[in-house]
């Protein structure tokens, strides 16, 4: 930076904001002959910036987000990204190829950014327009569409609400399965979109997907098998208030993807004090037994996998990367990315995200959750939607089929034949899985090869299972387990 100071002038509630460079010299230049005084001024100025920022965050909490605007910050390296994260700057996305970080910042945070040696210029998201042929669903239109799906296909589609948003909009999720009213012993898969309200392409992809599955049931063998074999749960919009306001945050200015219990800093999986949308998702996910999940975002085109919050590979990284590559290879623009090799990335290697839903799902519920960044522009013109569907259709279907990869079964007491709540450990995977509390069902998505699977439960002898998993995502291999009670 040169000696000129930069000030961020921001209006409130949508008024124009800009970076203004005031052409006068830094006060420190007045004291070039007095190094100790210069040092004192710099220290006091830095203390003022950091203290005022921390105070305002503590005082206003999420309400400070209403003063945030999207800015572009030129960078040179990953170290620059790390410095911004350490300063608690809320990063939207970053690109070493573009040498730019896009972030949401308050006026005070912009001052902090500039004190750290960066510049910040306003870079608002562009909201694409609807056309006569294509348009985005409003909450009302989406609600009507989902209700119509459930009405037209009552034997395979069931619409539920997992809760309400701050402004009392229903958080709709559609279950698709052959015996939709039953809680069957089948692999459960969850697709969620638009937890950031202005990232809406995924919402429309899910409407296309739902229609494809329902209309072709009993007609297309591949699609019929997916519905018969799985319990598929699809939530087109987790943040309907944010979408209605065309903004990232929910109605109380909470970023839902920074609002879940963090893998490192939270020792309890506690929903208390979190956004109502977050609480609803936590309660719902905790009541199910999902093995795979995709959550859709916008602002880049890439498959992002855990961890987001810390360095290092997640358990079962071979499977994780396999699933990411499988999606990417079927989405040509993603696979041919010039920003990400083969269109995939480890979250932390890209940029650190704390308290995100992806890590929470995998850490607390053993549900392998992958983030699909589906569009470079968050809210592109609606005329682009058919092409996005073309790009993602096969990837979405292939990802559903992967829930059939591996083994599944029911764990019971050998004597009483009652369900047993057991813990499951797989060789070479540093993670403990569990059976369904109600029916003893388990589902392990595994890579091809030999695996040793150990079942343990209080009051029972350990059960060791050696299995050979074939390279197959069409047929589900069922291995039921009868556990022997210990003799006392």
Tokens of 370: 């992958």
Pick the closest to residue 95 from 384, 373, 327 (CA basis).
373
**Local structure of residue 379 (DSSP, 8 states):** B
Q: What is the model's pTM? A: 0.87
Q: Which one is catalytic: 188, 199, 352, 373?
A: 373
Domains annotated on the chain, with CATH: 5-122 (no CATH), 139-404 (3.40.630.10), 406-483 (2.60.40.1120)
Active-site residue flag, 421 = no
CA separation for the pair 267, 116 (Å, rounded): 32
- Residues 366, 174: Cα–Cα separation, whole Å: 22
Residue 135, SS3 per DSSP: coil
Maximal C-alpha separation, the chain:
89
In this prediction, residue 65 carries a pLDDT of 77
So what's the pLDDT on residue 55?
37
Residue 427 burial class via C-beta count within 10 angstroms: exposed 0-12, middle 13-18, buried 19 and up? exposed
Looking at residue 56, its pLDDT comes to 40
pLDDT at 42: 52
List Cα–Cα distances, 360 to 93, 284, 285, in angstroms: 20, 13, 10
Cα dihedral sign, 136-139-142-144? negative
Query: pLDDT at position 68, please?
Result: 87
Token output for 238: 């987790």
Instruction: Show pLDDT as tens, one digit a residue, over the chain (488 residues).
Output: 333 333 333 333 333 333 333 233 333 443 344 556 555 555 555 554 544 444 344 334 577 778 889 999 999 999 999 999 999 999 999 999 899 999 999 999 999 999 999 999 999 999 999 999 999 999 999 999 999 999 999 999 999 999 999 999 999 999 999 999 999 999 999 999 999 999 999 999 999 999 999 999 999 999 999 999 999 999 999 999 999 999 999 999 999 999 999 999 999 999 999 999 999 999 999 999 999 999 999 999 999 999 999 999 999 999 999 999 999 999 999 999 999 999 999 999 999 999 999 999 999 999 999 999 999 999 999 999 999 999 999 999 999 999 999 999 999 999 999 999 999 999 989 999 999 988 999 999 999 999 999 999 999 999 999 999 999 899 889 999 999 999 87
């Amino acid at each position: 930076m040169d000696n000129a100071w930069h000030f961020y002038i921001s209006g409130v509630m949508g008024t124009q904001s800009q970076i203004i460079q005031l052409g006068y010299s830094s006060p420190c230049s007045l004291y070039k002959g007095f190094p100790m005084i210069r040092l004192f001024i710099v220290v006091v100025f830095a203390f003022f910036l950091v203290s005022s920022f921390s105070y305002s965050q503590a005082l206003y909490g999420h309400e400070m987000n209403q003063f945030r605007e999207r800015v572009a910050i030129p960078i040179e390296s990953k170290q620059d990204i790390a410095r911004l994260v350490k300063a608690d700057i809320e990063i939207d996305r970053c690109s070493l190829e573009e040498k730019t970080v896009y972030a949401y910042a308050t006026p005070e945070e912009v001052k902090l950014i500039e004190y750290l040696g960066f510049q910040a210029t306003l870079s608002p998201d562009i909201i694409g327009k609807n056309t006569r042929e294509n348009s985005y669903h409003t909450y009302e239109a989406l609600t009507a569409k989902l209700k119509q799906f459930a009405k037209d296909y009552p034997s395979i589609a069931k619409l539920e609400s997992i809760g309400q948003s701050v402004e009392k909009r229903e958080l709709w999720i559609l279950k698709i399965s052959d015996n939709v009213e039953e809680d069957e012993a089948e692999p459960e898969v969850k697709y969620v979109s638009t937890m950031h309200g202005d990232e809406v392409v995924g919402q429309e992809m899910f409407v296309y997907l739902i229609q494809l599955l329902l209309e072709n049931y009993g007609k297309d063998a591949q699609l019929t098998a997916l519905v018969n074999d799985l319990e598929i749960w699809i939530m087109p919009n987790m943040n309907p208030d944010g979408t209605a306001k065309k903004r990232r945050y929910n109605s109380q200015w909470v970023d839902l993807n920074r609002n879940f219990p963090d893998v490192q800093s939270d020792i309890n999986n506690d929903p208390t004090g979190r956004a109502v949308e977050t609480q609803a998702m936590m309660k719902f996910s905790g009541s199910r037994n999902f093995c795979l999940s995709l959550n859709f975002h916008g602002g880049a085109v890439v498959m992002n996998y855990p961890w987001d919050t810390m360095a290092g590979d997640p358990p079962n990284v071979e499977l994780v990367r396999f699933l990411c590559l499988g999606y990417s290879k079927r989405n040509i623009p993603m696979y041919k990315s010039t920003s990400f090799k083969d269109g995939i990335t480890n979250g932390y290697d890209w940029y650190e995200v704390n308290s995100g839903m992806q890590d929470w799902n995998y850490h607390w519920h053993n549900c392998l959750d992958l983030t699909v960044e589906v569009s470079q522009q968050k809210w592109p013109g609606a005329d682009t939607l058919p092409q996005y569907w073309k790009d993602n259709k096969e990837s979405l279907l292939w990802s559903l089929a992967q829930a059939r990869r591996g083994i599944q079964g029911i764990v019971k007491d050998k004597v009483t034949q009652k369900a047993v709540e057991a813990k499951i450990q797989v060789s070479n995977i540093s993670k403990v899985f569990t059976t369904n509390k109600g029916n003893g069902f388990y589902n392990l998505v595994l890579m091809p090869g030999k695996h040793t699977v150990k079942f343990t439960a209080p009051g029972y002898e350990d059960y060791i299972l050696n299995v050979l998993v074939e390279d197959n995502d069409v047929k589900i291999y069922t291995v039921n387990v009868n556990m022997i009670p210990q003799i006392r």
